[in-house]
Structure 1
Amino acid sequence: MKRILIIDDEAAICSSLAFALEDKYEVMTTTDPSVGVTWLEHDHYDLCLLDLKIGQIDGIDVLRQIKEVSPKTIVLMITAYGTIATSVRAVREGAYSYLTKPINIEELHSVIEQAFRYQHLNEQVDFLSQELEKKYSYEGIIGKSKAMKAVFHLIGKVREVDSNVLLTGESGTGKELVAKALHFSGKRKKAHFEVVNCAAIPDQLLESELFGYEKGAFTGAISSKKGKFEQANGGTIFLDEIGDMPLALQVKLLRVLQEKVVTRLGSNREIQLNVRVIAATNKNLDEAVRKGEFREDLYFRLNVIKVPLPALRERKEDIPYLIKHFIGQFNEEMGLNVKGLTKQAQRILLDYEYPGNIRELSNIIESSMVLADDEYIEATDLPNQVRKINHASNGENGLYKSFIGLPLKEIEKHFILATLEANKGHRKKTAHMLGISERSLRDKLKQYEHR
């Protein structure tokens, strides 16, 4: 059922309009525009009926606030005959249309139905846009920043060729996702995509994992087994954390890449390969080559095309899109109904530096969604280390310097009241954030009232 919010300073008009609409819609009313804006910020309403003049408050100003906190909500202005020119201005500011008093109920229903048809068309356009974005986002890689557009450009250039690719970047930047994009958007997409994490497999097992073995090749080899290169024949093998591969095995890998053949352990039979190799590392391989920790000839074989992935702190404009993606993903996976973040929580996440990159952001959103008591993630729901770093960085920017010379009680009062305001008057969350009991918070607030 569609939801409608009515904001009018006359309670009688609110009641009569609600009575006329409640058979078809879920209707809420308020005579206080600030309450209405707060409801729109924290809950979903499909349409808002807004009076153009609410006491001494200009409805245009309220309209602007609504469009800021809930841009998809349709707004219909209610106006007297003498203010039609102002109503036209309201339409230019984002209102869908306007109705003149006294309101004709049939006309009201007709305009609302038209508005919802308009909304449905917009939703279809948004859906098609999202589908197009999925098509060109390369298997779920999200980003509109300049840095990510450069990555998408490189993927588009090399996805159809067989040249080896080296993905570089810090841990958690999405190297495996890019490797999958290269495979599944290219000509080998119907063949196997095999993944080997060179850092996660013990050295003594990595060789057999890559190249396979024959029965009896070593103790415990009770049957023959294909290696990852064989399994990937015709497709792609992704060698993650290639910088951690031991030197002795690097020699054997180099031969496989040069000769395009593989020999299982315990066998002399060479198996012809047609495999595209994508490697990834979070290490500086140029430096590793200089130190003798990585073979230069293997490095040149792997580094035919380099795709550097930016750290999340270098593409912060992508964070809101990633947050939206993760919220949708975890809502579906965990059966939750989280709609977003409060402005304070989003500001903290935009300021954070993310040493763990996208993987860390995903973990932060998942844990915060589980802990959230409301439909919106509050700052208090975020992990402690994120909030602490944010507070520390604010201090370095001079926040605390402004309190130099003030009595401690005044500084305490400022932080308590500021925290209470950030939590929208929620005393339990405020006490938790400040590390004090609710009783202590209540006592301090009473002291402030008598100062």
Structure 2
Amino acid sequence: MDKILIIDDEASICSSLSFALEDEFIVTATTDPKKGIQYVKDEEFHLCLLDLKIGNVNGIHVLEELKGIQNDLIVIMITAYGTISTSVEALQNGAYSYITKPINIDELFSTIKQALHYRKLNNQVHYLSNELEKKYRYEEIIAKSNEMDQVFSLIDKVKDVDTNVLITGESGTGKELVARAIHFSGKRKTEHIEVLNCGAIPEQLLESELFGHEKGAFTGAISSKEGKFQLSQNGTIFLDEIGDMPLSLQVKLLRVLQLKEVTPLGSNKPIKLNVRLLAATNKDLLDAVRKGEFREDLYFRLNVVEIHLPPLRKRKEDLNVLIYHFIDKMNKELQKQIKGLTPKAEARLLAYNYPGNIRELSNVIESAIVISEGPYIDIADLPPPLREFDVKTPSATTGIGAYLGLPLKTLEKEFIIETLKYNNNHKKNTAEMLGISERSLRDKLKQYKQE
């Protein structure tokens, strides 16, 4: 329910308006403007009915203070002094509209509903404009490998249905980006997506972040707060690192998913939910279930469809395009003009395994661009792990003189094995580099094992 604050120096108006509105709204009323200002500091209100003259206090000054605390607060002025000048001044200082005394209740309800609808639309426009700047689209997941084609296919299948999706993969593989791609390409794209990292918040605060709380629900709860489930109403909630959620909260989350309702801490009024759930983890949840660290019933509730993101070392086809994507991106952000990589630096970047995956690659490129003084990134510009990394290629490990006098069959075997090592045992990449089919490569490897 929307929260309305009434500030008027006439107690009778406060009580009569509270009585008229309390069936449809949560109403707080006061005759003291200082208390009204404190209320807005303590908790979020959606709309305020504010008297233009509160005893000796100018309501426009109160309006300015209220808007300074909560800019999106809708304020409707109440005045018995309906002159054009005072009304215009109120509107110029951020009031949505004004009504005159004696108050017509039907007119008041109509104005309030129009104002709240305007607030919702305005917040949606602001939210979407911010999100569109981030450009969360399929195209933002930079990839050309077959492994990622399968990910794109799954995103396309689940984006318009409300099935729970579990996104798995190592840290840094882009799980949140996939969650946002699902949301912003689906039917809920005009609503909010709320993100919560279950491993980044202390256990005692996580429940409040998820489900919200009422004022006074626990020590330090000086105001009411909506949880992520309430904030994502009609939209999507993305729970990252779900495997780190304590067992005590797993039980409560399961109940929320089963009943499709949430009860804030300190309240006994459940709130019905219309929310799409996405979750992600870098852990093996089945193993956690076997160890008693994760509830089996919650696992199956979350894992209706699984989207697994392969680590960067298993999608080396994407490396080159990712590297130049990050060079272009960092050039713009850092106002640099790096043209590319020297051959030696490129060999290092393509051969490295990236335990931190795409996040690590992005950091490597950013660091190199900051350090580089020339138009091309060289080995000296790379961070220590890549500078010290021993790149072994067929031509680097052995000069051509080392092959002289060897039978052609032996030469072929050595060359294939070294190329396979260079590609970190990725057979498809190796076959493409050698110009043969994967089947031919497998046949030759079997033959070598038998020799």
| Bin for the TM-score computed over the shorter chain | 0.5 to 0.7
The yes-or-no answer on 1:291 pairing with 2:312 is: no
**Letter matched to residue 324 of structure 2:** K
What's the CA shift for 1:399? 5.5
User: 8 Å contact 1:137–1:152 — kept in the other structure?
Assistant: no
The yes-or-no answer on 1:272 pairing with 2:263 is: no
- State the partner residue of 2:340: 340
- State the partner residue of 2:369: 369
User: 8 Å contact 2:237–2:277 — kept in the other structure?
Assistant: yes
- State the partner residue of 1:243: 243
Structure 2 unaligned regions, length at least 5: 1-133, 403-451
Alpha-carbon distance change, 171 to 135 in structure 1, aligned in 2, over 3 angstroms: closer
Structure 1 unaligned regions, length at least 5: 1-133, 404-451
- 1:87-106 pair list within 5 angstroms: none
- State the partner residue of 1:436: none
Alpha-carbon distance change, 213 to 155 in structure 1, aligned in 2, over 3 angstroms: same
- State the partner residue of 1:63: none
Once residues 335 and 388 of structure 2 are traced to their aligned partners in structure 1, the CA distance between those partners, rounded to angstroms, is 30
So what's the TM-score if we normalise by structure 1?
0.57
Once residues 324 and 204 of structure 1 are traced to their aligned partners in structure 2, the CA distance between those partners, rounded to angstroms, is 43
What's the CA shift for 1:277? 0.6
- 1:214-253 pair list within 5 angstroms: 214-253=214-253
What's the CA shift for 1:261? 0.2
Once residues 191 and 348 of structure 1 are traced to their aligned partners in structure 2, the CA distance between those partners, rounded to angstroms, is 43
- State the partner residue of 1:42: none
The yes-or-no answer on 1:208 pairing with 2:208 is: yes
The yes-or-no answer on 1:258 pairing with 2:262 is: no
What's the CA shift for 1:390? 2.8
- State the partner residue of 1:52: none
**Letter matched to residue 265 of structure 1:** L
- State the partner residue of 1:50: none
Q: Which string of whole-angstrom CA distances, capped at 9 and with x for unpartnered residues, describes residues 249-272 of structure 1?
A: 000000000000000000000000
Q: Which string of whole-angstrom CA distances, capped at 9 and with x for unpartnered residues, describes residues 270-290 of structure 1?
A: 000011110000000010000
- State the partner residue of 1:170: 170
Q: Which string of whole-angstrom CA distances, capped at 9 and with x for unpartnered residues, describes residues 193-242 of structure 1?
A: 00000000000000000000000001111111100000001000000000
- State the partner residue of 1:64: none
**Letter matched to residue 165 of structure 1:** V
- State the partner residue of 1:103: none
- Which deviates more from structure 2 when the two are superposed, residues 235-244 or residues 138-147? 138-147
Q: Which string of whole-angstrom CA distances, capped at 9 and with x for unpartnered residues, describes residues 355-404 of structure 1?
A: 0000000000000001111111111111111121234x569x9559x99x
User: 8 Å contact 2:194–2:231 — kept in the other structure?
Assistant: yes
1:297 aligns to what SS in structure 2?
Answer: helix
2:195 aligns to what SS in structure 1?
Answer: strand
Once residues 291 and 306 of structure 2 are traced to their aligned partners in structure 1, the CA distance between those partners, rounded to angstroms, is 21
What's the CA shift for 1:343? 1.5
- State the partner residue of 1:183: 183
User: 8 Å contact 2:250–2:298 — kept in the other structure?
Assistant: yes
The yes-or-no answer on 1:327 pairing with 2:327 is: yes
Once residues 173 and 135 of structure 1 are traced to their aligned partners in structure 2, the CA distance between those partners, rounded to angstroms, is 18
User: 8 Å contact 1:260–1:274 — kept in the other structure?
Assistant: yes
1:194 aligns to what SS in structure 2?
Answer: strand
User: 8 Å contact 2:137–2:184 — kept in the other structure?
Assistant: no
Identity %: 65
**Letter matched to residue 144 of structure 2:** K
- The structure 1 segments of at least 4 consecutive aligned residues displaced by more than 4 Å after TM superposition are 134-137, 397-400
2:262 aligns to what SS in structure 1?
Answer: strand
User: 8 Å contact 1:214–1:224 — kept in the other structure?
Assistant: yes
**Letter matched to residue 298 of structure 2:** L
Once residues 398 and 152 of structure 2 are traced to their aligned partners in structure 1, the CA distance between those partners, rounded to angstroms, is 40
- State the partner residue of 1:55: none
**Letter matched to residue 175 of structure 2:** K
Q: Which string of whole-angstrom CA distances, capped at 9 and with x for unpartnered residues, describes residues 284-321 of structure 1?
A: 00100000000000000000000000000000110111
Once residues 228 and 358 of structure 2 are traced to their aligned partners in structure 1, the CA distance between those partners, rounded to angstroms, is 28
User: 8 Å contact 2:136–2:177 — kept in the other structure?
Assistant: no
Alpha-carbon distance change, 349 to 242 in structure 1, aligned in 2, over 3 angstroms: same
- State the partner residue of 1:140: 140
Once residues 343 and 149 of structure 2 are traced to their aligned partners in structure 1, the CA distance between those partners, rounded to angstroms, is 27
User: 8 Å contact 1:139–1:184 — kept in the other structure?
Assistant: no
User: 8 Å contact 1:139–1:181 — kept in the other structure?
Assistant: no
Number of residue-to-residue matches in the alignment? 269
User: 8 Å contact 2:239–2:280 — kept in the other structure?
Assistant: yes
Alpha-carbon distance change, 135 to 281 in structure 1, aligned in 2, over 3 angstroms: closer
Once residues 146 and 136 of structure 2 are traced to their aligned partners in structure 1, the CA distance between those partners, rounded to angstroms, is 15
1:390 aligns to what SS in structure 2?
Answer: coil
Once residues 136 and 319 of structure 2 are traced to their aligned partners in structure 1, the CA distance between those partners, rounded to angstroms, is 19
**Letter matched to residue 205 of structure 1:** L
Cα RMSD of the aligned pairs, angstroms, is 2.3
**Letter matched to residue 293 of structure 1:** E
Once residues 208 and 139 of structure 1 are traced to their aligned partners in structure 2, the CA distance between those partners, rounded to angstroms, is 35
1:157 aligns to what SS in structure 2?
Answer: helix
1:225 aligns to what SS in structure 2?
Answer: coil
Once residues 175 and 362 of structure 1 are traced to their aligned partners in structure 2, the CA distance between those partners, rounded to angstroms, is 15
Q: Which string of whole-angstrom CA distances, capped at 9 and with x for unpartnered residues, describes residues 80-121 of structure 1?
A: xxxxxxxxxxxxxxxxxxxxxxxxxxxxxxxxxxxxxxxxxx
So what's the TM-score if we normalise by structure 2?
0.57
- 1:32-181 pair list within 5 angstroms: 138=138, 140-181=140-181
